[in-house]
Amino acid sequence: MPLATDDFLDIDDVTPAELDHLLDRAAAMKAGESAPRFPDTTLGMIFEKPSTRTRISFETGMTRLGGHAMFLGPEDLQLGHGEPLRDTARVLGRYVDGTMARLFDHADVVELAEHADCPVINGLTDEAHPCQTLADLLTIREAVGEDASVAWVGDGNNVGQSFVVGAAMAGIDVAVATPADYGMDSAVFERAASFGADVEPTTDPESVVDDADIVYTDVWISMGQEDERAEKLAAFDEFQVNADLLADTDARVLHCLPAHRGEEITDAVLESDRALVWDQAENRMHAQNALLVELLGDGT
Ligand code: CP
Ligand code: NVA
């Protein structure tokens, strides 16, 4: 089933049925089912921000599919020295078969997709991280199943925003607790509602964790927000995922990583059996390989 979309800029660029199919394919590929091969196929990877998981999972994933991934860091491209993004996009599309981009401004990945004559995948922007959501949903399916309920606790950031929409698409019950000044964009809840989810965000983390199968958190200071550090640390004091918060639940824990131990999550929780984070990180590659098969191939 090829995807109707040419690009994957946020999780709801695919339909719920396509998302379900992608997760099925990811699980099958993880289990060793043979996948289509893409020899002579190159994925360009533009990074304005650092990365461990996104870079390594896409690069290794393309190797596993028989293709090649090209790392293009901030200093590697003329883009970093004044060449306009749209010119970069036009040229890139003449060479590569697909592009994955990790950028600051979400509008930039939209512009890239408009001007590049190849599929474009969002590898994280300030607003969204849909590849992470694919891996999150695969991990939840494995650990709990499709009837899971998930509590997002912490910053209303890129990872959380894509997750809330993706969870709604997958029929997963999601609750959200963020500080008042660091909530998600209201459009996120409208998008979730369009898939039948009624998500009422709260500022009380304790009220969302006790009924959850999974508690999901992410860093309080995302890449590019370093100047807001002091202000944000003060606002997030009550939002740490720690033994106290989890005292009345046996919920498992997700974190997209990298984690800042002692800030949004304690070392003890991250090192405990509750943490699904290493499977979650591995699942980046399986989920993205399924996406690459669908976007770069014909879906067969
Ligand atoms: N979760 C995630 O995207 O990790 P990286 O920043 O290491 O790519
Ligand atoms: N919210 C984090 C996610 C890192 C994968 C950030 O944007 O820095």
Per-residue pLDDT tens digits for 195-211: 999 999 999 999 999 99
Please give the distance of CA 78 from its chain centroid, rounded to a whole number. Answer: 27
Domain borders along the chain are 11-129+283-296, 131-280
For residues 125-129, average pLDDT: 98
Q: Which two tokens stand for residue 161?
A: 């925003």
Which of the residues are catalytic? 102, 129, 132, 218, 256, 284
Contact yes or no for 215/163 (Cβ under 8 A)? no
The Cα 97–Cα 134 span in angstroms is: 21
Q: What are phi and psi of 73, to 5 degrees?
A: -80, 175
What is the residue-averaged pLDDT of the chain?
Answer: 96
For residues 26-42, average pLDDT: 93
Confidence tier at 35 by pLDDT (50, 70, 90): confident
Is the per-residue pLDDT at 266 higher than 90? yes
Is the per-residue pLDDT at 294 higher than 80? yes
CA of 181 to the centre of ligand 2 (A): 18
CA of 93 to the centre of ligand 2 (A): 27
Is the per-residue pLDDT at 273 higher than 70? yes
The confidence score (pLDDT) of residue 74 equals 87
Residues 6+ apart with CB under 8 A from 35: 29, 64, 65, 289, 293
The Cα 59–Cα 194 span in angstroms is: 34
CA-wise closest residue to 242 among 220, 265, 270, 221: 265
Say whether domain 11-129+283-296 belongs to CATH 3.40.50.1370.
yes
The confidence score (pLDDT) of residue 299 equals 66
Alpha carbon distances (Å) from 274 to 127, 148, 175, 217, 270: 28, 15, 19, 13, 8
Cβ-based neighbour number of residue 84 at 10 Å: 12
For domain 131-280, give the CATH number: 3.40.50.1370
Is pLDDT larger for residue 225 or for residue 300? 225
CA-closest residue to ligand 1 atom 1? 256
Is the per-residue pLDDT at 300 higher than 80? no
Q: What is the strand order of the sheet 98-102 is part of?
A: 68-72, 42-47, 98-102, 120-122
CA angle at 22 for the pair 21 and 25, rounded to the nearest 5°:
85
Q: Give residue-wise pLDDT tens across range 136-177.
A: 999 999 999 989 999 999 999 999 999 999 999 999 999 999
Is the per-residue pLDDT at 126 higher than 80? yes
The confidence score (pLDDT) of residue 178 equals 98
The confidence score (pLDDT) of residue 1 equals 64
The confidence score (pLDDT) of residue 34 equals 83
Residues 6+ apart with CB under 8 A from 200: none
For residues 221-235, average pLDDT: 97
Residue type, 201: P
What single-letter DSSP state applies at residue 11?
A: G
Model pTM score = 0.98
Q: Which two tokens stand for residue 165?
A: 């929409």
For residues 123-134, average pLDDT: 98
Q: Give residue-wise pLDDT tens across range 230-255.
A: 999 999 999 999 999 999 999 999 99
Is pLDDT larger for residue 99 or for residue 37? 99
Nearest-atom number in ligand 1 for the CA of 284 is 1
- Helix or strand or coil: residue 238? helix
CA-closest residue to ligand 1 atom 4? 53
Ligand 2 — pocket residues by CB below 6 A?
124, 157-159, 218-219, 222-223, 256
The Cα 90–Cα 44 span in angstroms is: 13
The confidence score (pLDDT) of residue 146 equals 86
Is the per-residue pLDDT at 278 higher than 80? yes
Cβ-based neighbour number of residue 288 at 10 Å: 28
For residues 181-187, average pLDDT: 98
Write down the H helix ranges in the chain: 16-30, 53-64, 85-95, 106-115, 130-143, 158-169, 186-194, 206-209, 229-235, 267-270, 277-296
For residues 250-271, average pLDDT: 98
For residues 210-221, average pLDDT: 97
Residue type, 146: E
Tell me if 11-129+283-296 shares its fold with 131-280: yes
Q: Give residue-wise pLDDT tens across range 48-105.
A: 999 999 999 999 999 999 999 999 998 999 998 999 999 999 999 999 999 999 999 9
CA-wise closest residue to 103 among 71, 84, 128, 133: 128
CA of 94 to the centre of ligand 2 (A): 30
Q: Which two tokens stand for residue 132?
A: 């992470």
Alpha carbon distances (Å) from 1 to 62, 254, 296: 20, 30, 12
